Amino acid sequence: MPRERILSGDDLPEPEPVQTAASPTGKLRDDEIALRPKHMNEMVGQRKVAERLGIAVDAARKRKEPLGHILLDGPPGLGKTTFATCIPRDLGVALQIASGAALAAPKDLLPYLTNAEEGSILFIDEIHRLPKAVEEFMYPAMEDFRVDITLGEGAGARTVNMKLRPFTVIGATTRSGLLSAPLRDRFQIREHLEFYSNAELTEIVGRNAAKLRVEIEDDAAGKIAHCSRGTPRIANNRLRWVRDYSTSRAGGHITLAIAEAALNMLGIDILGLDAQDRKYLETINRVFHGGPAGVEAIAHTMNAALDTLVDEVEPFLLRSELVVRTPRGRKLTARAYEHLGTAPPPDEPQLPLF
């Protein structure tokens, strides 16, 4: 049975119901739930996205109609799941959570569709991982709120048309480029989440320190924010680590010196990069002489998963202008050489920084 959980009722409880061990994404862990904003107006940053989604939610509520299907894309940890859990609370409708990777066949999706209450939300994380057959099964469900079910096999097979209650799909993906055009087109609202500014992350760290009941000085919150690769989930993880460090070594109060010592111990550098980020840059530099190098070859050499590099490592390095994508592969920029403290390979014209 693929159904992971249904949050019932118009008022989703606070704190959020505990996710089962069979969590589709493994992302709604208890500690994350404690820090996750409950309503869109508690979210920091992504103001334009939140404003547009807020208008759509408001209109749906006033018209008493289901919200249009929503596609959220962007690197991991930027708030896709948070939006998907805040929207049903703001709307006062039920939420079901599924993961594209766990929906192997149409029969896995069917219970979600038949369970969907009128106006409720079905959140499908990693929607780019839906197999083609499941994707095609979803088209009439999203468009006309019906599914075509084939009963029996061979010559005796017949198709039954089943009506569904109108509902809303919120799809999340780190790779919108992998989505087929017909699926993408079925989402009326498409939003891209951007990395957060240091000021926004500082605010998130400050608020979450209060939720975790730990005292933190402003410059220490700023330091953690600066070392969080523009990503709230990383900021939360760094904050938890600094809190542990300060509890163990320094009475629990987080000063700038404590935050710096704790982050140093994790190997976070001045740009907020971690060991894996640096290994990626060093591999291109050492093995591929600065590039261009194909990402598959880089992943192979690093003994890392291709998806991890593409989804988690590269987006921030690209945004930080440490790496560029060229038609022939990834290439280090002058800034990357400066950061690594090495000279660029000889006779290589340097890509200018814009």
Does 186 sit near ligand ADP (CB under 6 A)? Answer: no
Q: Which stretch binds ligand ADP (CB under 6 A): 7-15, 72-80, 139-147, 322-330?
A: 72-80
Does 226 sit near ligand ADP (CB under 6 A)? Answer: no
Q: Which stretch binds ligand ADP (CB under 6 A): 4-12, 30-38, 100-108, 280-288?
A: 30-38
Q: Which is nearer to ligand ADP, 211 or 286 (CB)?
A: 211
Binding flags for ligand ADP, 204-223, as an x/- string (CB under 6 A): x-------------------
For 36, which DSSP code? S
Query: Cα separations (Å) of 254 from 34, 201, 215, 266?
Result: 20, 17, 6, 16
Query: Cα separations (Å) of 72 from 75, 132, 166, 168?
Result: 10, 20, 20, 13
Q: Which is nearer to ligand ADP, 172 or 220 (CB)?
A: 172
* The binder of ligand ADP chosen from 3, 32, 212, 308 (CB under 6 A): 32
Does 272 sit near ligand ADP (CB under 6 A)? Answer: no
Which residue is listed with tokens 């009128």? 118
For helices 218-226 and 198-211, the axis angle rounded to 10 degrees is 120
- Integer Rg of the chain from CA: 23
* The binder of ligand ADP chosen from 120, 202, 228, 236 (CB under 6 A): 236
Which residue is listed with tokens 């291709």? 306
Does 82 sit near ligand ADP (CB under 6 A)? Answer: yes
Does 291 sit near ligand ADP (CB under 6 A)? Answer: no
Alpha-carbon dihedral sign for residues 225, 230, 232, 234: negative
Q: Would you say 66 and 168 are in contact if contact means Cβ atoms under 8 Å apart?
A: yes
Q: Which is nearer to ligand ADP, 174 or 246 (CB)?
A: 174
Catalytic residue annotation: 80-81, 125, 174, 233
Does 88 sit near ligand ADP (CB under 6 A)? Answer: no
Q: Which is nearer to ligand ADP, 77 or 106 (CB)?
A: 77
Does 81 sit near ligand ADP (CB under 6 A)? Answer: yes
Task: Tell me how far apart the alpha carbons of residues 225 and 199 are, in angstroms, rounded to a whole number.
Answer: 8
**Side-chain half-sphere exposure of 108, counting CA atoms within 13 A:** 18
DSSP string of 104-173, one letter each residue: -SHHHHHHHHHHPPTT-EEEEETGGG--HHHHHHHHHHHHHSEEEEEES-GGG-EEEEEE----EEEEEE
* The binder of ligand ADP chosen from 24, 232, 272, 291 (CB under 6 A): 232
Q: Which stretch binds ligand ADP (CB under 6 A): 61-69, 71-79, 213-221, 293-301?
A: 71-79
Does an H or E element contain 122, and which? strand 121-125
Q: Which is nearer to ligand ADP, 102 or 110 (CB)?
A: 102
Does 230 sit near ligand ADP (CB under 6 A)? Answer: no
Q: How far is the CB of 200 from ligand ADP (least distance, A)?
A: 8
* The binder of ligand ADP chosen from 24, 66, 79, 222 (CB under 6 A): 79
Q: Which amino acid is at 296?
A: E
Does 128 sit near ligand ADP (CB under 6 A)? Answer: no
Residues in CB range of 40: below 8 A, 6 or more apart: 50, 53, 54, 57, 83, 86, 87, 90
Residues that bind ligand ADP (CB under 6 A): 27, 32, 35-37, 43-46, 76-82, 172, 204, 232-233, 236
